[in-house]
Structure 1
Amino acid sequence: MESGRVWFVTGASRGLGRAFTEAALAAGDRVAGVARDVEPLAESAARHGDRLLAFGSDVTDRAAVFAAVDRAADHFGRLDVVVNNAGALYAGMVEEFGEEQARAQFDLNFFGALWVSQAAVPHLRAQGSGHILQISSIGALGGFPSTGLYSASKFALEGMSEALAAEVAEFGVKVTIVQPGGYWTDLYTSSTATTPEPRYDGLREELAKQWAEGSIDSEPRLAAEAVLKLVASDNPPLRLLLGSMVYDLAFDLSRQRMDTWAGWEEVSRAAEHAVPAPTT
């Protein structure tokens, strides 16, 4: 049996997924890299031979996802690290979203990760080990103008993943929610935008100015280096922040929430007073 871990990475052909895939291969591991278009992985597949299994799959198709995970497990004989990285950004104000775009955002960012997790857990449970990495976002720290549905999909991913972590722990399976800050990927350049409502033009201009003045992103390889340290840990965290900006923002937002809760403590506590169950 070959040594080294076996990875299953979605969205493996570009951005962070590509960086995770290349880093795992450079570490001597084997990777099943899936994406809708795996052509960008052709050169890497030729270079790494049978250590990289690259094939197309649509994570929004539940049956296709189960078939893809089974194919990877059968090919390599096991799965060790499952990385739910596939995702996209649908940009727009909450009011502007139609049903089709709202559902598409959740189908990819939330349901895709849910299907992969459901498909992978039986394999990991059977072998008594494994690590699922849910690639979330700075957008899950809070809701921000023009990325509300994106944030909502990542909030949903994190809520599901917290429950999953508690459910599979007894089987030796670990779950980590990875919250990256800004990286030079095509997340923004490939984003889908809503039809603009003119009343938000002023806010859009202000947001564009803020991003132009304050957006400094990092190389995806730095995120990959952090993930390699994460999967090598015997006691990985439930959550891992990637980047100074997202680290500082997480603490700032947490403090703001704690201050708000404390300011309304009297109202909160007055809203609860235990009484016997009502009789019918």
Structure 2
Amino acid sequence: MTRVWFITGASRGLGRAFTEAALAAGDRVVAASRNVEPLAELEGRYPGALVRLPLDVSDRKAVFDGVEKAVAAFGRLDIVLNNAGRLLLGMVEEATEEQLREQFDVNFFGAVWVTQAVVPHLRAQGSGHILQVTSMGASGGFASTGMYAASKSALNSVSEALAMEVAPFGIKVTILQMGGYDTGLFTVGTTTTEPDPRYADLRARLAEMWGDDAGPDPSTAVPAVMELIDLPEPPARLIVGGASYDMVLQMEQGRIEQYKAWERLSRLAPG
């Protein structure tokens, strides 16, 4: 059966890769982005299968209006991919209120607005799959990316609650903990704080640790997710990326070992 996708952040990176993959599979796509001009070529290549939707996900009213247009275009929604995101790069002390709010407005609230807008439609049809794009690093903070991780961690928590709430209506929810792909997040999608010179040494160590590798092409993430959406019982979480899988397991194991090391102190409290 031909499926209908609603994809945010569709004009570049992972959003663009999944838009192309869905169209190539014979599905139809409502591709939402602040700038939809880069999608014009795809619209010509797949006539009648792609609707370009200019959308700022941080604008709740615009999101609800956009979802109504999407449903009107193709009559239903089957897969909702909350992919739009930004990166605030800098130390916690350096971040301004405006920068922090913009980070959460896009990464967290934007995904929540889309979710709120699509759930009534998915519930009415008794089916649908919401894919929430978060990060392999969302299980814990890391120097200079703490605000980004916080916004994605918040989305993780809300999405786990959402999955429990909508399961009785036939709606599935999967958190996609994406690895590091060359999506442009660290270039066009990045806002940086004003550097405090007291963090210069730490910044130098981080730059050396990360190197210049931008990561694999976003299209390499497509096969895993395309197989995922065909599963009758998809997982609630999926780490997308082999190297990222190893890193997440290592981080989780380290956290478990720390809990156990301080078990005696934890058990001093009765709660």
- Asked if Structure 1 and Structure 2 have the same fold, meaning a TM-score greater than 0.5 normalized by the shorter chain, the answer is yes
Correspondence 1:78-157 to 2 at 5 A: 78-157=76-155
Q: Check the 8 A contact 1:19/1:224 in 2, yes or no.
A: yes
Q: Check the 8 A contact 1:139/1:147 in 2, yes or no.
A: no
Which residue of structure 1 aligns with residue 192 of structure 2? 193
Cα separation, 2, equivalents of 1:263 and 1:224: 40
Cα separation, 1, equivalents of 2:252 and 2:214: 23
Secondary structure, aligned partner of 2:112: helix
Cα separation, 2, equivalents of 1:170 and 1:269: 37
- C-alpha deviations, 1:190-237, integer Å up to 9, x for none? 211000000000000111111117x46111111122111111111100
Residue 233 of structure 1 pairs with residue 231 of structure 2:
yes
1:219 maps to which of 199, 217, 227: 217
- C-alpha deviations, 1:149-184, integer Å up to 9, x for none? 000000100000000000000000000000111111
TM-fit CA distance, 1:138: 2.0
Secondary structure, aligned partner of 1:241: strand
The one-letter code matched in structure 1 to 2:198 is R
* TM-score, with length taken from structure 1: 0.94
Q: How many residues align?
A: 270
- C-alpha deviations, 1:57-112, integer Å up to 9, x for none? 11000000001111101110100000000001010000000100000000000000
Which residue of structure 2 aligns with residue 264 of structure 1? 262
Gaps of 5+ in 1: 274-280
Name the % identity. 57
Q: Check the 8 A contact 1:10/1:33 in 2, yes or no.
A: yes
Cα separation, 2, equivalents of 1:97 and 1:183: 25
Cα separation, 2, equivalents of 1:155 and 1:47: 37
Q: Check the 8 A contact 2:87/2:148 in 1, yes or no.
A: yes
Q: Check the 8 A contact 1:139/1:150 in 2, yes or no.
A: no
The 4+ residue runs of structure 1 with deviation greater than 4 A are none
TM-fit CA distance, 1:139: 2.4
Q: Check the 8 A contact 1:12/1:34 in 2, yes or no.
A: yes
Which residue of structure 1 aligns with residue 64 of structure 2? 66
TM-fit CA distance, 1:271: 0.5
The one-letter code matched in structure 1 to 2:202 is L
Secondary structure, aligned partner of 1:232: coil
Shifted more, 149-158 versus 256-265: the winner is 256-265
For the pair shown, which has the larger CA radius of gyration, 1 or 2? 1
Cα separation, 1, equivalents of 2:248 and 2:268: 29
Q: CA RMSD in A?
A: 1.0
Shifted more, 134-143 versus 169-178: the winner is 134-143
Which residue of structure 2 aligns with residue 276 of structure 1? none
- C-alpha deviations, 1:106-139, integer Å up to 9, x for none? 0000000000000000000000000000000122
The one-letter code matched in structure 2 to 1:138 is M
Shifted more, 204-213 versus 84-93: the winner is 204-213
1:24 maps to which of 22, 25, 36: 22
Shifted more, 204-213 versus 155-164: the winner is 204-213
Which residue of structure 2 aligns with residue 278 of structure 1? none
Q: Check the 8 A contact 2:137/2:248 in 1, yes or no.
A: no
The one-letter code matched in structure 2 to 1:203 is L
Which residue of structure 2 aligns with residue 76 of structure 1? 74
Residue 248 of structure 1 pairs with residue 246 of structure 2:
yes
Q: Check the 8 A contact 1:91/1:147 in 2, yes or no.
A: yes
Cα separation, 2, equivalents of 1:184 and 1:263: 38
Which residue of structure 2 aligns with residue 210 of structure 1? 209
Shifted more, 134-143 versus 116-125: the winner is 134-143
Q: Check the 8 A contact 2:182/2:214 in 1, yes or no.
A: no
* TM-score, with length taken from structure 2: 0.97
Cα separation, 1, equivalents of 2:167 and 2:5: 19
The one-letter code matched in structure 2 to 1:166 is M
The one-letter code matched in structure 2 to 1:19 is A
Cα separation, 1, equivalents of 2:8 and 2:74: 16
Secondary structure, aligned partner of 2:46: helix
